[in-house]
Amino acid sequence: MKSRFILSMLFLLSMVSNSVLAASAEFPGRAIYPAVKIIETAALKQNFANVVIVDVRSKYEYETLRINNALNIPLTSPAYLEKMRALGNKKKTIVVYCNGRSCMKSYKAEVKARRHGVKNIKVYDAGVMDWAKTYPKQSSLLGESPLNPASLISKKRFKDHLLAPKAFAKMALDEGVEVIDVRDPLQRMGMGLFVGIEKAVALDNVQKLNAYINQAATNGKTLLIYDETGKQVRWLMYRLVAKGLTNFYFMEGGTRGYFKELKKRLN
């Protein structure tokens, strides 16, 4: 009997351990930020009308895809703490979110706000993509709601428009392409990868970016676009698709991927 009990306990411990490991793999930020309070998708839907939802991503991401009724207070905004404290004074639970399960921005936003006195705050770490797939009627894509779930860009579809840094750099030398660096000025620091070839414009500068894109499309050029990490361009893809464009590619891993690949070649 005793050995059966021990075996049963070991089995249960193994199951719990496997569940914890699976959760850590699915939501890596939970292990990094254990003090953060989490709200799951179903619970957020149930309390949707009774919480203040805050999108801590950039304005560009927010205007591309967002949870309905969410306020946009970017974590990088100088007014972030001031605005979060003002919301905290209203006593409603604040729910912050960013892109998805591997995105750390929402955790960082919670920690920063909590350390500066905002206590009534939770993180929806499943992120905007999970929400949009589950509750399209409470989501907006390019300003339209409800959204069509079929309009959400899958990882596979996104990967179809990725080029490895070496292939991207080679193609950038062709005459029939337009290279655009969409990093923000702080990331760029006045330095581009393709000097004399590329155009530089931050994603948030929508008017100028659209002008470059429209000009390239009119001239029948292939668009080659890169950012810092290869993630921001996924949001730009929604706007390119909305324009009916198909002839475009992004640099896999962005400039970080470029220098990582370059370092491997030099070693």
Cα–Cα distance for residue pair 131/74, rounded to 1 Å: 19
Q: What is the pLDDT of residue 16?
A: 33
Residue 179, strand partner residues = 224
For CATH 3.40.250.10, the residue range(s) in the chain are: 28-151, 155-266
Asked if residues 179 and 172 have their Cβ atoms less than 8 Å apart, the reply is: yes
pLDDT at residue 15, rounded to an integer: 38
CA angle 123, 129, 133 (to 5 degrees): 115
* pLDDT tens digit sequence for 146-193: 999 999 999 999 999 999 999 999 999 999 999 999 999 888 887 899
Determine the pLDDT at residue 9. 43
Cβ neighbours, 10 Å, residue 54: 27
Look at domain 155-266 and name its CATH class: alpha beta
Average pLDDT over residues 23-30: 84
Distances (CA, A) of 243 to 93, 154, 183, 252: 38, 18, 21, 22
Lowest mean pLDDT among 6-10, 51-55, 90-94, 256-260: 6-10
Tokens of 179: 């290279």
Average of per-residue pLDDT values in the chain: 91
CATH value of 28-151 in 1.10.10.10, 3.40.250.10, 3.30.565.10, 1.10.287.70: 3.40.250.10
User: For residue range 27-38, what is the model confidence (pLDDT) as tens digits?
Assistant: 999 999 999 999
What are the angstrom distances between the C-alpha of 6 and each of 15, 19, 126?
14, 20, 37
Model confidence at 226, pLDDT cuts 50, 70, 90, reads very high
Separation of alpha carbons 160 and 153, rounded Å: 11
Structure tokens given for 90: 């209203």
Flag whether pLDDT at 52 surpasses 50: yes
Res 103 pLDDT > 80: yes
